């Protein structure tokens, strides 16, 4: 089925008005040899048939609700009020708010979102959203390079490895050099290369360790570079805001704020900067202003940074961002408030520590993440992580995603020749986990490792 | 707090202005009493909590519900925004997405076989619709797809030892702004090609710029005037003769979806906007999805991972040594992919072709109606899914747009493409009925017949009237409470 309302009578009347005998005649500008080709697609389905087919596909997936998987995407609870409000058709089916008189709903919601991100990060200016955490970081790095006028990036090894790969791809495109700062004992070594323009750290880092990034920020500034912090939004309920330890730019992944895991997207990325960098920001910004009657209103601003005005001289090519998923983030933050977000963070931390204690007591299992850690941690297992993840999944538990080999002994402590790199696995906890969940995982892991 | 600001009506108060210390909304499961300083290091803790709003759930619901009433979308009114393809977003897609909401990107692939199969089939179907050999689903939006496509082209040239030599990307002057922005973001020099008098790429001007220094030509077809580039096969030939790659901006694919394939036109790379052509809701500006399709010679350079067949099942393949790497974490905006998969499965080949053809019919019909109402059509021939109109001499496009807002419609795209003065770029899409188009054309006619004073003052009854843009630019106020 399709969604066109035309009756045969409509068709005939409309073709007549435009002076064509058939629909195909409207395509006469297309060279005949490529016009109207055969398309090999499956036969069309009705809505009922489609939903049945999709349910069959969905049945081949295992739900990761209350899973112990992490890496910035986690099974935090999404309150019912979040999708209920974000799914309002007026938000869902609007375009970018280029016509502010008819878009005050979204514009005000974005203004409020910018304020919330500014509060979390401790930086005065946040943009309207980026695609996700990884691309927000890549754009943050490009911003830092523009500001410093240099072409070298130093990335802490504590930054999510997928994020680092994305930065590498973007850096390759502009010909910037990327250097990795190693993690030793869970902390970034702040030894910076000559001529560095952007320095990046992550807190909590990929191993889960809460890193004091102030020394790295200081080193960056001493070297004349901008400091970019990658942060987890839930952690900012209790951890120091990046603005407080010298970050010029803060970015992160918004999924934990009221967005379903959705196999990795769509979520949203957030970005905040110190005031002096506002004209370097990529993406949309909403400002308060007044209308012709002096009434308060909101409007897209500083658009001279953007591609549809500046074309080749724009700060970024970003156009579509992640407005609806960022709106979900804002609704989530308002639904929980400062106390609720703190409770989510505290319970996630406490549960992760309880789980780490249980699992590290299993024979052959070693804690890799140095203290202090937040709600994710890495264990070294006596069996390959991929095998363990599979075996746990067969028991209905999602946990132990493999951690890249680079996080072996050198990254987490003194060299241990016996350490087998492919045996590193990541675990995460959220406020959803109960004591019974932890028991179940422990029992399953003991069984799998026995 | 609201009483202190008499100019602010209750409906438009900020959520922060409704906040009352100690008020709670959603309560998470009970958190244990712990010594956070001991667990996380006292020096790492923030001294003050972030000042987030403190509201009860009903206040929250009323706040956002009332905000939504100050917003229009496709579900509210006709939204003929050119180059944005504001077609109906089927409700069944929103139901479909829920079936796949609880998957984690790092769960064992054996427990995500349904999702992987969906992605595999979508790669194949998008390849079939565009005439391309391989597709990546990773880019998160159209501009992100453009960047990916241009990076792939650069990697290809580099693999042939031509990276240093090919420093220029050619872009027509009618192109979307994202094209030159993308090329320069990817480190290329951008050279604009003037359009010819017929609104199409000037082949002679293009040929004069072509040479071994050119990496790629970025084209939109139909172009932003809504016209099909009739010499596209010659353009492709000329590009390939000097070793340049031809890039297809898929923003306007809706017109020719299934009726003419970019691959058959000679394009080497295409990006798609699933949030335009394949009915992912725009969401107020995203999230979208921007898959990229390429011909076989470029396939080794696509981002990782690719979804591949493995025995009876499906797997994520990372081992692709010539890949440009990753442009986003994980596998793309999966939720958007589910919606577009659902759309293609429901329409099939026949529905896809029919939708494209009716988008073209609707545009041509509306063009005739607007002509009848007194609008000028600078390039008046059979258009594709959109066309560019101008108001009668002496009337400003901005005022027409604001007048339309007063009449309850979302205006067309204004002042674009740049090559037409006072441009109104109109794209009705195939999901609008004949009556809707006729009613809109009548209102367009009414608007240009209003007196000058009314037009320049419009809109009057919208939630706010014309806003002071200059003030916002000079003294931007980008958050509450500062």
Exposure of A177 in the CB half-sphere (CA atoms within 13 A): 9
Q: Which two tokens stand for residue A393?
A: 């999944």
Q: Which residues pair with A187 in a beta bridge?
A: A184
Structure confidence at residue A306 (pLDDT):
72
Q: Dump pLDDT digits (tens) for A76-87.
A: 999 999 999 999
Least confident window among A164-168, A421-425, B393-397: A421-425
Q: Which two tokens stand for residue A367?
A: 């804690």
* Chain B closest-CA separation from residue A210 CA (Å): 7
Structure confidence at residue A419 (pLDDT):
55
Q: Which two tokens stand for residue B323?
A: 């890949």
Q: Dump pLDDT digits (tens) for B441-473.
A: 999 999 999 999 999 999 999 999 999 999 999
Query: What secondary structure does DSSP assign to A341-402, as a single string?
Result: HHHHHHHHHHHHHHHHHHHHTSTT-EE-SPSSB-SEEEEE-SS-HHHHHHHHHHTT----EE
Interface contact B477-A288, CB threshold 8 A: yes
Mean pLDDT of chain A: 95
Residue in chain A nearest B283 by alpha carbon: A92
Exposure of A91 in the CB half-sphere (CA atoms within 13 A): 27
Q: Which residues in chain A are contacts of B432 at CB distance < 8 A?
A: 5
Sign of the torsion angle spanned by Cα atoms B36, B50, A202, A397:
positive
Mutate which: A235, A265, A347, A386, vs B, most B CBs within 10 A: A265
pTM of the model: 0.96
- The bridge status of strand B424-426 relative to strand B387-389 is antiparallel
pLDDT band at B255 (very low <50, low <70, confident <90, very high): very high
* Chain B closest-CA separation from residue A209 CA (Å): 9
pLDDT band at B2 (very low <50, low <70, confident <90, very high): very low
For residues B336-373, one letter each, b for 16 or more C-beta atoms within 10 angstroms of the residue's C-beta and e for the rest, the string is bbbbbbbbbbbbbbebbbbbbbbbbbbbbbbbbbbeeb
Interface contact A335-B26, CB threshold 8 A: yes
Interface contact A168-B325, CB threshold 8 A: yes
pLDDT band at B4 (very low <50, low <70, confident <90, very high): very low
Q: Which two tokens stand for residue B111?
A: 């427990």
Per the listing, tokens 């910037």 go with A176
Residue A416 has pLDDT above 60, yes or no: no
Interface contact B50-A244, CB threshold 8 A: no
Q: What share of chain A is helix, strand, coil (3-state, %, to 5)?
A: 45, 15, 40
Mean pLDDT of B40-47: 97
Q: Dump pLDDT digits (tens) for B387-442.
A: 999 999 999 999 999 999 999 999 999 999 999 999 999 999 999 999 999 999 99
C-beta separation of B68 from A226 below 8 A: no
For residue A292, count other CB atoms closer than 10 A to its CB: 15
Among the partner residues A240, A289, A372, nearest to B46 by beta-carbon distance:
A240
d(CA B475, CA B473): 6
Interface contact B112-A389, CB threshold 8 A: no
ipTM of predicted assembly, 2 dp: 0.96
pLDDT band at A358 (very low <50, low <70, confident <90, very high): very high
Interface contact A67-B104, CB threshold 8 A: yes
Q: Dump pLDDT digits (tens) for A298-350.
A: 999 998 777 766 777 777 888 889 999 999 999 999 999 999 999 999 999 99
CA distances to B19, B22, B50 from B53, in Å: 5, 10, 9
Residue A66 has pLDDT above 90, yes or no: no
Structure confidence at residue A408 (pLDDT):
81
Structure confidence at residue A417 (pLDDT):
53
Mean pLDDT of chain B: 95
């Amino acid at each position: 089925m399709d969604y066109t309302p035309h009756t045969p009578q409509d068709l005939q009347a409309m073709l007549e008005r435009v002076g064509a005998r058939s629909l195909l005649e409207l395509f006469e500008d297309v060279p005949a040899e490529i016009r109207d080709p055969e398309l090999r697609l499956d036969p069309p389905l009705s809505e009922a048939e489609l939903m049945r087919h999709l349910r069959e596909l969905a049945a081949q997936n295992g739900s990761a609700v209350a899973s112990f998987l992490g890496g910035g995407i986690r099974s935090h609870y999404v309150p019912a009020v979040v999708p209920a409000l974000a799914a309002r058709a007026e938000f869902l089916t609007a375009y970018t708010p280029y016509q502010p008189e008819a878009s005050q709903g979204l514009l005000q919601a974005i203004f409020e979102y910018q304020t919330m991100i500014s509060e979390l990060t401790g930086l005065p200016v946040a943009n309207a959203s980026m695609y996700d955490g990884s691309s927000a970081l890549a754009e943050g790095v490009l911003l830092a390079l523009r500001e410093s006028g240099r072409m070298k990036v130093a990335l802490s090894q504590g930054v999510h490895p997928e994020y680092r790969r994305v930065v590498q791809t973007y850096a390759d495109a502009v010909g910037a050099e990327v250097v990795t700062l190693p993690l030793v004992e869970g902390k970034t070594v702040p030894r910076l290369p000559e001529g560095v323009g952007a320095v990046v750290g992550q807190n909590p880092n990929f191993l889960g360790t809460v890193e004091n990034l102030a020394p790295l920020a200081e080193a960056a500034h001493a070297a004349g570079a901008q400091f970019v912090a990658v942060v987890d939004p839930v952690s900012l309920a209790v951890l120091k805001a990046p603005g407080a330890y010298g970050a010029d730019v803060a970015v992160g992944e918004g999924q934990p704020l009221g967005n379903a895991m959705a196999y990795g997207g769509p979520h949203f990325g957030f970005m905040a900067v110190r005031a002096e960098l506002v004209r370097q920001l990529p993406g949309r910004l909403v400002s308060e202003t007044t209308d012709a009657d002096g009434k308060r209103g909101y409007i897209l601003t500083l658009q001279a940074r953007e591609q549809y005005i500046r074309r080749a001289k724009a700060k970024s090519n970003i156009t579509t961002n992640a407005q609806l998923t960022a709106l979900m983030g804002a609704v989530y933050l308002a639904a929980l408030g400062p106390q609720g977000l703190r409770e989510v963070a505290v319970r996630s931390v406490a549960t992760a520590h309880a789980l780490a204690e249980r699992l590290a007591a299993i024979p052959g299992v070693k804690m890799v993440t140095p203290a202090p850690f937040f709600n994710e941690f890495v264990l070294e297992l006596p069996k390959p992580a991929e095998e363990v993840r599979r075996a746990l999944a067969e028991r209905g538990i999602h946990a132990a995603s493999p951690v890249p080999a680079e996080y072996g002994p050198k990254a987490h402590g003194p060299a241990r020749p016996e350490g087998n790199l492919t045996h590193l696995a990541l675990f995460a906890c959220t406020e959803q986990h109960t004591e019974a969940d932890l028991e179940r995982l422990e029992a399953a892991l003991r069984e799998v490792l026995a | 707090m609201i009483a202190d600001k008499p100019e602010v009506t209750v409906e438009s108060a900020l959520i922060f202005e409704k906040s009352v210390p100690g008020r709670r909304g959603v309560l998470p499961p009970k958190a244990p009493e712990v010594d956070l300083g001991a667990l996380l290091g006292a020096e790492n803790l923030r001294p003050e909590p972030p000042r987030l709003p403190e509201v009860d759930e009903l206040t929250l619901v009323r706040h956002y519900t009332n905000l939504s009433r100050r917003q229009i979308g496709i579900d509210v009114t006709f939204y003929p925004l050119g180059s944005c393809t504001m077609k109906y977003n089927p409700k069944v897609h929103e139901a479909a997405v829920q079936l796949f909401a609880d998957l984690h990107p790092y769960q064992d692939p054996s427990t995500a076989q349904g999702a992987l199969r969906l992605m595999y089939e979508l790669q194949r179907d998008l390849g079939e619709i565009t005439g391309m050999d391989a597709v990546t689903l990773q880019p998160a939006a159209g501009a992100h797809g453009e960047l990916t496509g241009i990076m792939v082209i650069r990697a290809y040239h580099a693999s042939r030892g031509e990276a240093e030599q090919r420093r220029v990307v050619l872009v027509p002057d009618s192109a979307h702004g994202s094209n030159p922005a993308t090329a320069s973001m990817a480190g290329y020099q951008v050279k604009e090609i003037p359009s010819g008098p017929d609104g199409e790429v000037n082949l002679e001007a293009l040929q004069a710029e072509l040479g071994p220094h050119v990496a790629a030509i970025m084209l939109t077809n139909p172009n932003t005037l809504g016209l099909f580039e009739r010499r596209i096969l010659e353009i492709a030939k000329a590009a390939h003769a000097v070793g340049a790659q031809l890039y297809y901006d898929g923003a306007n694919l809706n017109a020719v979806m299934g009726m003419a394939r970019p691959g058959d036109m000679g394009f080497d790379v295409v990006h798609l906007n699933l949030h335009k052509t394949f009915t992912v809701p725009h969401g107020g500006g995203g999230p979208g999805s921007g898959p990229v399709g390429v011909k076989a010679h470029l396939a080794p350079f696509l981002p990782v991972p690719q979804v591949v067949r493995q025995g009876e099942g499906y797997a994520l393949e990372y081992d692709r040594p010539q890949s440009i790497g990753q442009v986003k974490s994980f596998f793309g905006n999966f939720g958007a992919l589910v919606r577009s998969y659902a759309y293609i499965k429901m329409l099939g080949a026949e529905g896809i072709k029919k939708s494209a053809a009716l988008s073209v019919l609707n545009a041509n019909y509306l063009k005739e109606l607007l002509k009848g109402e007194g609008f000028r059509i600078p390039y008046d021939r059979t258009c594709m899914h959109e066309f560019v109109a101008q108001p009668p001499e002496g009337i400003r496009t901005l005022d027409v747009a604001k007048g339309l807002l007063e009449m309850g419609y979302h205006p067309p795209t204004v002042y674009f493409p740049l090559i037409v003065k006072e441009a109104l770029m109109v794209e009705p899409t195939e999901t609008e009925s004949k009556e809707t188009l006729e009613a809109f054309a009548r209102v367009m006619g009414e608007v240009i017949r209003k007196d000058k004073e009314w037009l320049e003052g419009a809109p009057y009854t919208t939630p706010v009237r014309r806003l002071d843009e200059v003030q916002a630019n000079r003294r931007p106020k980008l958050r509450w409470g500062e």
